[in-house]
Structures are given as structure tokens and as C-alpha cells.
Structure 1
């Protein structure tokens, strides 16, 4: 096998690609302070520029949700050149309006329009209807301008988009898939796909602020969105009011997405004891996986090895259940306690010696759409350089499998980014403690996707600008997600009244 090589990117966000029309949110199908300054909304004319026209709203989704289309430059270095379109959504404040609260989704690849539809009512209730709630689908997502590689179905399943090694840790198949995926991107992606970057999402967020006529934005960002929001606060400190970073990753500018992926191995280890205790609880009855939590771990890992050696037939045509697929189903289940029963059922079905083909959960059986796969892969590859040595990846996988068997070497395996045809157009944002002290972080102690150790690196980078609320819960996403009254109250008090803890706090 040869070592991947990279060609230099000839420019940023240039070329041609179609501009899909905006779709309404109900049609979307998408796979996560001492005193803060209050937002002051001024008339649109005072803040919108000719390139940020006022938005035209129309009813969509729920009874109170509205949608609009925002036009932004394809390439911000060519502000009067080609444009792309973003699907925007809002829910108006009820009563005394404090300002605008932007809901920034995770991903890369998650829909802000969909998240606002899902969380809008709870967020409106928590904040007493004091904010106009707004969000948008980032480039490549949902109703915004999208792009696609033309990847075959087998390369668009979650367990193949994520590079799960083969039996015994072999990565030959991952190398071949990574190469052909990167080649498909280089051939079919064009300038639109090259524009899928965190830096452009930061720019697009500010263009939305201007179009709304707001001097400043408050923000609730989750998962990957915390890096977007932290970057926005870094670049536009005077345009932020109250910023909540929910479930943060390590912002190390030398690694960013590479580090987030690698850290998932630690996150799975942090979180798995919650599932093991649940699955060993006598209250599970016949659904119990083992008598003790340690034996739950033994059973899951033993089954993964058996499935790698002898994949199990499934009801999905042409798709057999492998050990990597089982462990991917585990990663998905660790995000939320509510998913524990489905994964436990998969273990029992795959472990049965006499049952017929296994019924796979939708997350394994259904491929991602071409558009979703494109944006998920492109952002992480466009943002930062990735190492290309196949031999180094093979060694890294072997070491990671031994240290973190629950993730089987996937977090450090080779990806299409190692064969990417374009180098990052600009360096990743460096998050610092410069700017107003108006950020509140909230973080579960046992988060499988953005582990607590990585969040502590974000906390250290923000320094005096932030406070951290550490929540003794498991799962991905804390505010309005885990049911922890202490954590929710801290965030709500900050958003509503500007009251932020004077030091980092812990919520039992």
C-alpha cells in the first residue's frame, strides 16, 4: 500500500455547483457570567448591509415556527461573486423580548432548523419566552445548498463512514474506501463542497445576525456547534451577549476534528459503566445481559470478536452484522439512556445460536443520504490537515484497540481526509481568553462523544471568559437533555437573568 499524498488547494471556495431550492422543515430527513450583556435589537436598517438583506418569513413546521432563506457568499473573499442559500428558522419571543438566541447545532452535518423544531418549545418555556429563537441549516445540510460525492450506498452507512477496522484490526478495506471516497469528492464536489468549513459557518452566523438586525447574539451551541460558537466569540467578541457551550470538545488548533474523533475512545470508556450497570440490573429480568457489570463488558467485547470472525446474517439484503457494526451500535446507544434497550436487544439477538437473521437498528441498516455523507466528511477534512501514513495508522489502530477495546481502533483509523485533494484554505481558529467574560459551559461527566477531558481543554483555553458547570450524568448533550435540575437551572439563570456562577461548579 502506498502512502497517501495531498495536492495543494488552488483557492478557497471557488468553482460551480447547483443551488438546490429551500425545503420546508417538515420535509427534512437528517441523520448534536458575572454580568452578561443583554442583547439589544436595533432596526434592520441600522445593522443589515446590502449583502445582508432583510429576511422574508413564512409559516412552517409547528404553529409558531417561521422559515426564511438567507443568501451568503460562496467565497467570502469574493463577496460579490457566487452565492449559496441557507435555510433559516425562528420562533418569536412571547411577551417582553430580551433579544435573539441562536441555536447552533452539532455535527458536522446536523440541521439547525430541525433542532429548533425539536427543542424550541422546551427552550421557550425554560427562558420564559424572552428570546426570539433562531437557527439555520449549515451549508450542505437539509434545506440549505447541498453537494454530493456520488458515493455508493455501501460507503454511506454509518459503520463505513466511520472507519471501523476489520477482523483483527486490519485496515486494508478502510484504506481502499478512504481513497475512493476522497477521489469521488475531488471529482464531483466542486467549490460548494470545498466551502463546507467551520470558518464559513462562523461567517454565515454573523451574516444571519446582520440580516436579523441584531447588534449582538446570545447562543446555545451543542457538540460540534460549541467550536463554531467559541470561534464566533473569538472573532466577534463585541457581537456576543450570553453564550452557552453545551458538550464541548478539545479546541486544540493543531488537531480539532482529529482530536475529537480520537477522544471518542476515552468517551466510550467513561460512559460504558452506565450501560453495564443498567444491563446487569436485576430489574431487567429476562432482558438482563449479565449478573454483574464486568460481565456485560465481557459479553459485548466477546460478541464483537465472534462477529468479526463470523459475521451474522441480517434481514437487510447484502449486509451482515460484523463486530465493528456492533460496536458502532454501542457508540450510538451510549449517547442516550433511552437507547440502551435497543442495543441490549441487538446483543441478545446476535448472541442467539438458533435465531434467524438479525434485525438491524435503523442507524446500521439505513445509509446516510449522499448530501449528509458529503457534509459530514467534508467539514472535518476541510478544516485541518490529517496524517497520511498507512503504516502509522495501522500501528495507531493496534495500540488503540489494546487500550480502548470498546472502540476497536476506529477513532484513530485512516479516513478519506488522509487522501483529501485540497489542503485547508485557512488555519483553524485558536480559542483564547481574550474578550468579554460571557461564556457558560455545561458538560456531562460521562459524555461518549465529547468526553469531559476534552471539555476541560476548552475550559482552559477560554480562561477568564468562562465558567464550567460539570453535571454528574452520562450521555451526549446536557441542557434540557439529561433532566439534571441543577445543571438546567444554572444555564437557565444565565440565559434569563445574566446570572453566572462566580466559579466553576459541580452538579450531583
Structure 2
């Protein structure tokens, strides 16, 4: 059957990869002499940026061990960047950042600067970005994915057990391609613990005794792993839009479905308030009913329509465009096109070129190497059936099978997130987040115990800082990064709240 969903699926997958929240950040400590094996800073390549390159931003490459059990053995390249502080008298240290994904992050300091990172934070830190090993310019991995396999890491919505079986065969084939590609030698060494070890090599190469850290989405898991492996080398740690303590594991996949249910009412309210423009329902209840009406139409007529969607990619579009309220007009336009059987409206695109094969291959490797996933197709079929009822908008996608079911066992145990270590972690979280729902953040908060405090914001979308709209939450992060004053206890910021 012709895959009419590919164009929109690719657009949404790219959007989800790009819409990583502007993140909270962190600092470092005393500067030491530059050690051997440091980074030679040069002009950044323009092709990695979608935003203007800030004045003074530099890029370089660091050699790190492929296998940390053999520190003097084979090395790989790590692409690194820095946006230096221009005020030496105010500089505290380095702020290592990660945009989530896992995705390339060498250009992330430029994104943060363009997203309103406060000048006080830029003065206090050299903001550091890097591409995680295997991704982007850091010794990239490939699974030789075909265009049809490059539609993202999100499983399709399964209408029945047969759909799960079909996806299982596709997932098994992807895992086989990864294991036999020309970069298969890299696969056992792509994991969150090794990315965290790379972060510590960056710290050492920059001559710092400590780092501060800002991680968003998947980057919150990476930051938590770093705090466990190197508890005394973290200064101020901010985790924004927080995954659960298991990282991107199968339970995290299933949480997306709750995230959609949590976030959709805000979109439904927007559409109902603009009924004259969109004609999709006068009340949020009517808008929700319209969603299921449209998906039913697409189930019966998946091909040959002007809008070129099937029900799975339509559901994926809803998940992706719930990432940020500013996208609600785009999503409403997609609904209108489906409702009237008209061409789709213009969708976001352009920017820096992305190697979809590498991005998706690298994600599979890092995610699948982190934890054990169920291996029985029947387990996924059972969970899909249950979540289709519990979370009717996206449950049968979140619970569906991925190539991780066919991945070799991880080469080392998953790092357990606990309350052992310094109390230097600040979590910031929206109440309604389609990708990292509040439930996951609460589980991470519980796992970290006295090490962390959490600030929640009464807003929708994926990402709080620095480009969120809640002044109270933004103030908490900026204050922590610039002064070290962290909230003494958890608190909640009401909608559009002023600083506390």
C-alpha cells in the first residue's frame, strides 16, 4: 500500500526533534590550566545552524575513548561548541547544555541565545554545546535506513493486533540493519552513561573542576545520569521538561499517551474559542468529538485524499503540534484540511539540513542500549489494546513496538537514579506536556529525594525555560543559575504568574 503519510510524518518528526525547549542551565567552578588533549576552537560551520550564530561562538572537536573500559584504546570524535562569557569578572564557569532528543546539540547555545537566555546567565557562564556520540558531527552512526524507515522514532498508531505484528516485523528489520551496518562497531558504546562520561571529558578538557548543566526532555535523563556517575563534579543542575527516572524506556513511551490527554484540552479550548474561523466545534467537547470523527474518516479512506494523510500520521501530527501553543493555528489548519478534504496548509520546514538516517539511528542506539524492553509481541499487543481504551487519542501508538524489542542486551546495567548526592538539582515542569508528562517529572522528583526541588508551571507545551511564558518559573531558574539560590521546597507557579 502506498504510504501517503510520509510527507507529514517527516514534517512532524522533524518538528518534534527541533522543538526542544529552551532549557535551564547550570554553572561550574575554578579554572585550571588547559590539560593535554584539549579542544582547538575554530569558526563554527554555518550549516549546523538554523538561527544566527552569536558573536564569538566557537566550535571544535575533542577526542574521547570509544570504550571507557579501555581509556587508552580507540578514540572517536566529539563535536563541541562554546558561547563564551564576555564578562570575565562575572564568569562563574561553564554551563553544559543538551537539547534532548537525543539530537545534535553543537548549535544549541545559539538556539538558547536566540530564545531569550538572560544576559545575566550568559555573563555568568561559557555556554557549552555538543553532539552526543553517534549523532551529528560526533562520529555518526547509520542503520542504512530507507526513506520509509526515516519517519521518526515514534511508533504508528495500531488499530488492532495485526498492526502490531506488522510493526514488529518492521522493527526487527531495522534492528537487523543497525547490527549489520558499516558503523555496527559503534553500537555497543552508544548509551547515556557513555554520553555522561563524554561530558566529564569536556569538563576536563576545558580545565574546569565542576560543571553546571541545563538539560531538556531526554537531556533531563542525561543530566540525572551525570549526577549519579559524577556527583561531586556537578555545580548547579537544571532539568527542564522531565523524564521519569528510567529515561526513555518503554514506560516512558506509554506516558506520551497520557501527555496527549493532558494537553489536548488546551488546544480544544483554543479551537472552540475560534469556531468562526475553524468551524470544528463550539465547545471543547465538540472539538474532541471532531477529532474522533476525523480519525474514523481516515481509517476508512487512508489513500487518495488531497491532504495525503492516514489516521496514524494524523494522530502523530496532533502529538507533535501540541508541543507549543503557538502551533495551535497550524494544527487547526490541518484539521480543517482533513474535514473539508482540501490540501494541507503550509507546514514548518527549512533550516539546517538534518541527516534523518543518522538522527533516527543514533536515537535507537542510545535509547535501546539504556534499558531492557519487552521482547514478546503479545506483550505489546496486550498493552496497545489496553492503552487504546485508556488513552484513545494516542495510546495505541505509545504502547506499540519499537526496534528496542530486538536489540542486544545493554553492555552495562542502567544507571539508577537515587537520592544519594549533593542537593543541587532544580526540576522545572509544565502541568500539561505531551512528550514528558507531569507524572514522569513527579517520579523523577521522588527518585532524587532531598537532592532536588521542583517548580511546576500552569501552562501547556514542552519546555519551560528560557522561552516559556511563565515569569515565575523563569525567575526561579535564572535566580538559581546566577545566584545559587534554589527554592527551599517545591512550589507551583500559576498561569502568567509574576516572580515570587
Provide Cα deviations, 1:422-470, integer angstroms capped at 9, x if missing partner: 2101111111111111111111110111110110111011111111101
SS in 2 for 1:383: coil
Decide which of 228, 233, 239 is 2:222's aligned counterpart: 228
Match of 1:308 in 2: 299
Distance 1:247 1:199, change over 3 A: same
Matches within 5 A, 1:341-352: 341-352=329-340
CA contact under 8 A between 2:61 and 2:77: conserved in structure 1? yes
Q: Which runs of 4+ in 1 moved over 6 A?
A: none
Structure 2 residue 275 is matched with structure 1 residue 289: no
- TM-score normalised by length of structure 1: 0.86
Match of 2:155 in 1: 163
RMSD (Å), alpha carbons: 2.2
**Distance in 2, Cα, partners of 1:194 & 1:373:** 16
Matches within 5 A, 1:108-507: 108=102, 110-121=103-114, 122-127=116-121, 129-158=123-152, 161-168=153-160, 170-188=163-181, 189-252=183-246, 256-282=248-274, 285-313=276-304, 320-353=308-341, 355=342, 357-358=343-344, 361=347, 369-420=356-407, 422-507=408-493
Distance 1:229 1:367, change over 3 A: closer
Residue 124 of structure 1 deviates from its aligned partner by 4.8
Decide which of 56, 62, 83 is 1:64's aligned counterpart: 56
Decide which of 66, 78, 81 is 2:73's aligned counterpart: 81
Residue 507 of structure 1 deviates from its aligned partner by 0.4
SS in 2 for 1:481: coil
Match of 1:17 in 2: none
Q: Aligned pairs, how many?
A: 457
Match of 1:9 in 2: none
CA contact under 8 A between 2:66 and 2:74: conserved in structure 1? yes
Residue 171 of structure 1 deviates from its aligned partner by 1.7
SS in 2 for 1:77: coil
CA contact under 8 A between 2:54 and 2:113: conserved in structure 1? no
**Distance in 1, Cα, partners of 2:68 & 2:95:** 24
CA contact under 8 A between 2:132 and 2:138: conserved in structure 1? yes
Provide Cα deviations, 1:282-320, integer angstroms capped at 9, x if missing partner: 3x632242101111111112211221221144679xxx4
- TM-score normalised by length of structure 2: 0.87
CA contact under 8 A between 1:314 and 1:360: conserved in structure 2? no
SS in 1 for 2:468: coil
**Distance in 2, Cα, partners of 1:44 & 1:262:** 47
CA contact under 8 A between 1:175 and 1:415: conserved in structure 2? yes
CA contact under 8 A between 1:383 and 1:424: conserved in structure 2? yes
Unaligned runs of 5+ in 2: 1-16, 21-25, 45-52, 495-500
CA contact under 8 A between 1:431 and 1:461: conserved in structure 2? yes
218-227 or 58-67: bigger deviation: 58-67
